[in-house]
Structure 1
Amino acid sequence: MRTSPKLAAFGLVGTLVYLGLAILGSGGPRAFFSHPALWIIALSLLVMTGVALFSEGNLSPGKREDRDNRWVLAAFGILGLLLAFLPAYTDRLHIWTFGGADVRWLGVVLFIGGGILRLWPVFVLGQRFSGLVAIQPGHRLVTTGIYGTLRNPSYLGLLINCVGWSLAFRSGVGLLLTALMLVPLIARIHAEEALLHKEFGKQYDTYRAYTWRLVPWIY
């Protein structure tokens, strides 16, 4: 295990709570695991959490942090809990649901693909990846690989992952919650970019000029 103990504990507990809420919303383990696609979703979530333990991610404020942006963590937490429970609950009651098994399996593909895109940059950044908006000691810009195109690939992965989760439950409510997540997500992106601009100045401006913020050719 390489990730910080605090972040590891947070990730493990968060995953179990997230999965537990989904099972509760579905009406219990038997109902949840009656869908093969949800078996894969649950297994993938556990595997991703296990893989994340080998990253160097942390919750360190580093040498400089934008503490004013910490409200975003609470917003993510609330939306995350709702996203864990409501799609499964509405799926069970057939409220704002659509499609069938094909939609569920599309959700599985997006959930796994988004999860990979979410985790990949965490390993690329190593100790520079923090759950807080912060500059770490020895921080330097990464401008190659996936960061040569996107400035925030992990956040794009998060959105794709949430869309996949929603589709696995055929949930219109889940898609709405994912859309609402854009509000704190964009606020966090702006805070991070402002902090990076203060730290790296023209170097960051040059990098920003030839890369996309979140979605290629769109934003």
Structure 2
Amino acid sequence: MTLSPRLAFFNIAATLAYLGLAVLGGGGFATFFSHPALIALTIVLFALSGAGLFTEGNLSSGEREDRGNRWVLPAFGLLGLLAAFLPAYTDRIGFWTFGGESLRWLGVLLFAAGGALRLWPVFVLGRRFSGLVAIQPGHTLVTTGIYRVIRNPSYLGLLVNSLGWALAFRSGVGVLLTVLTIPPLVARMGAEERLLRAHFGPEYEAYRARTWRLIPGLY
């Protein structure tokens, strides 16, 4: 199964726009792609975007949605736009940058690992994975695999992916934007857990009691 044509188009357009903003911030194609690590970053970006075309993720409000949490979507969108442009721009002008080429390559590795962790649960959940906080038809609770340990692996992947992008540009501003992603992400997790608790009751409470929310041993 793959994304619907509309979501597939959005996925491709968003990827091209994200890279375009980074190239613009980096001073154009020649300057941006003068760094081997950024060439690798671009390849990983397209690989992750291509993999996303084969998921069943959606934006369905399903049978029951927490509409009060929709405010996080424009917040994520704004942070995403800033993260696309500012790290590359600050890298180019040398503002609040640190590290060298090794840090860039570490960033590429984290970007790839985080992106894979972000997508893995989307494949596992299939049509149950929605960009909205919603219960889908036939929704069941997944408690195996990585979900045996943490309840929100995709969000952990998002944070690692975002941090990797920032480090690929050696950008302190990018790291700050990753930190600013945490408050709406925590709000999103809270809304999802309230909805799952209301829908699954004791089954979810028992699952919640034996797992970590995001980072094993910490949170």
- Range into which the TM-score falls when normalised by the shorter chain: over 0.9
- Which structure 2 residues correspond to residues 27-42 of structure 1 after superposition, within 5 A? 27-42=27-42
SS for the counterpart of 1:27 is coil
The number of residues matched between the two structures is 219
Alpha-carbon distance in 2 for matches of 1:7, 1:76: 17
**Contact kept in structure 2, 1:65 and 1:135, CA below 8 Å:** yes
Give the partner amino acid of 1:169. Answer: F
- Which structure 2 residues correspond to residues 139-178 of structure 1 after superposition, within 5 A? 139-178=139-178
Per the alignment, residue 102 of structure 1 pairs with 102
* Offset of residue 2 of structure 1: 1.2
- Which structure 2 residues correspond to residues 176-215 of structure 1 after superposition, within 5 A? 176-215=176-215
Alpha-carbon distance in 1 for matches of 2:198, 2:57: 22
Per the alignment, residue 65 of structure 2 pairs with 65
Give the partner amino acid of 2:164. Answer: G
- Which structure 2 residues correspond to residues 6-155 of structure 1 after superposition, within 5 A? 6-155=6-155
Q: CA RMSD in A?
A: 0.7
* Offset of residue 13 of structure 1: 1.2
Give the partner amino acid of 2:151. Answer: R
* Offset of residue 7 of structure 1: 2.3
* Offset of residue 43 of structure 1: 0.9
Give the partner amino acid of 1:98. Answer: F
SS for the counterpart of 2:70 is helix
Alpha-carbon distance in 2 for matches of 1:4, 1:194: 29
Is the aligned partner of 1:216 residue 2:188? no
Give the partner amino acid of 1:191. Answer: A
* Offset of residue 120 of structure 1: 0.5
- Structure 1 runs of 4+ aligned residues shifted over 3 Å read none
Give the partner amino acid of 1:15. Answer: T
Alpha-carbon distance in 2 for matches of 1:218, 1:10: 35
Alpha-carbon distance in 2 for matches of 1:186, 1:4: 28
Q: Which runs of 5+ in 2 are unaligned?
A: none
Q: Which runs of 5+ in 1 are unaligned?
A: none
SS for the counterpart of 1:61 is coil
The C-alpha deviation readout for 1:140-172, integer Å capped at 9, x for no partner, is: 000000000010000000000000000000000
SS for the counterpart of 2:57 is coil
* Offset of residue 196 of structure 1: 0.3
**Contact kept in structure 2, 1:25 and 1:89, CA below 8 Å:** yes
**Contact kept in structure 2, 1:6 and 1:59, CA below 8 Å:** no
Per the alignment, residue 4 of structure 2 pairs with 4
* Offset of residue 177 of structure 1: 0.3
Alpha-carbon distance in 1 for matches of 2:13, 2:187: 26
Give the partner amino acid of 1:131. Answer: G
Alpha-carbon distance in 2 for matches of 1:76, 1:176: 14
The C-alpha deviation readout for 1:52-94, integer Å capped at 9, x for no partner, is: 1101111100001111111100000000000000000000000
Alpha-carbon distance in 2 for matches of 1:185, 1:14: 20
